[in-house]
């Protein structure tokens, strides 16, 4: 029987609102709208497979706050995986300069096809993919053969890493929206993407 992993991008954070570059740990909290999104995720959660037996989160505050809402719905404790954080941007962390934001966006976009680039003091796309590989191996490895887990993480982590580590997803897929979900299945044919929420 295949194992399932439901990826959830955190709900809207204050950095999503004010445009600040905030990728360090623990980072910023959810915005007011983000708290509403996380609460809505808890209320409307549906999954037609086996009930999740594990709930994991990035160590970043915005992800942990989102996961806490799901934990109430799923009656599961939140387990933090220290490697599931967002892409590290080094010297540009905390900047509100639009030029820095463009530089980070350009670097992240380039990772779709070339993982070598990085911003000063930050990690490369290859570093990010290696981290996510470890996270997925740990989360899936802890599941029984037909088990389901939930992992709350980040937009760039998922949109860059998942197409490199699973089949069934274009490297140019749009980023998951805040509180959006993707479903991965780990079976005889390897790790495959079964669904990916579109923005809007």
Q: Lowest mean pLDDT: which of 2-11, 79-88, 91-100?
A: 91-100
Per residue in 127-169, pLDDT (tens digit) is 999 999 999 999 999 999 999 999 999 999 999 999 999 999 9
CB 78 within 8 A of CB 57: yes
Q: Give buried/exposed letters for 47-82 (b at 16+ CB in 10 A, else e).
A: eeeeebebbbbbebbbbbbbbbbbbeebebebbebe
pTM, 2 dp: 0.96
Q: Which of 60, 81, 182 is nearest to 135 (CA)?
A: 81
Q: What is the pLDDT of residue 50?
A: 84
The predicted pLDDT at position 49 comes to: 85
Pair of tokens at residue 128: 């990010």
Hey, what domains does the chain have and what are their CATH numbers?
A: 3-196 (3.40.50.1240)
- Is pLDDT of 59 > 90? yes
Q: Is the peptide bond before 154 cis (omega within 30 degrees of 0)?
A: no
Q: Is the pLDDT assigned to residue 200 strictly greater than 80?
A: no
The arithmetic mean of pLDDT across residues 36-40, rounded, is: 98
Give the residue-averaged pLDDT of 167-189: 96
Q: Any idea what DSSP says for residue 76?
A: -
Band of residue 1 on the pLDDT scale cut at 50, 70, 90: confident
Q: What per-residue confidence (pLDDT) applies to 199?
A: 87
């Amino acid at each position: 029987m295949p194992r399932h992993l439901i990826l959830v991008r955190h709900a809207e954070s204050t950095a999503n609102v004010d445009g600040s570059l905030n990728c360090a740990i623990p980072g910023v909290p959810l915005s007011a709208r983000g708290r509403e999104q996380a609460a809505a995720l808890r209320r409307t959660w549906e999954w037609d497979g086996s009930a999740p037996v594990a709930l994991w989160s990035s160590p970043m505050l915005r992800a942990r706050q989102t996961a806490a809402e799901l934990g109430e719905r799923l009656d599961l404790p939140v387990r933090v995986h220290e490697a599931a954080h967002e892409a590290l941007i080094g010297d540009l962390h905390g900047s509100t300069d639009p030029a820095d934001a463009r530089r980070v966006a350009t670097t992240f976009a380039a990772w779709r096809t070339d993982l070598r680039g990085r911003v000063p003091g930050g990690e490369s796309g290859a570093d990010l993919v290696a981290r996510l590989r470890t996270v997925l191996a740990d989360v899936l490895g802890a599941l029984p053969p037909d088990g389901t887990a939930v992992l709350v993480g980040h937009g760039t982590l998922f949109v860059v890493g998942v197409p490199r580590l699973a089949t069934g997803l274009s490297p140019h897929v749009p980023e998951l929206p805040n509180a959006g979900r993707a479903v991965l299945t780990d079976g005889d044919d390897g790790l495959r993407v079964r669904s990916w929420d579109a923005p809007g």
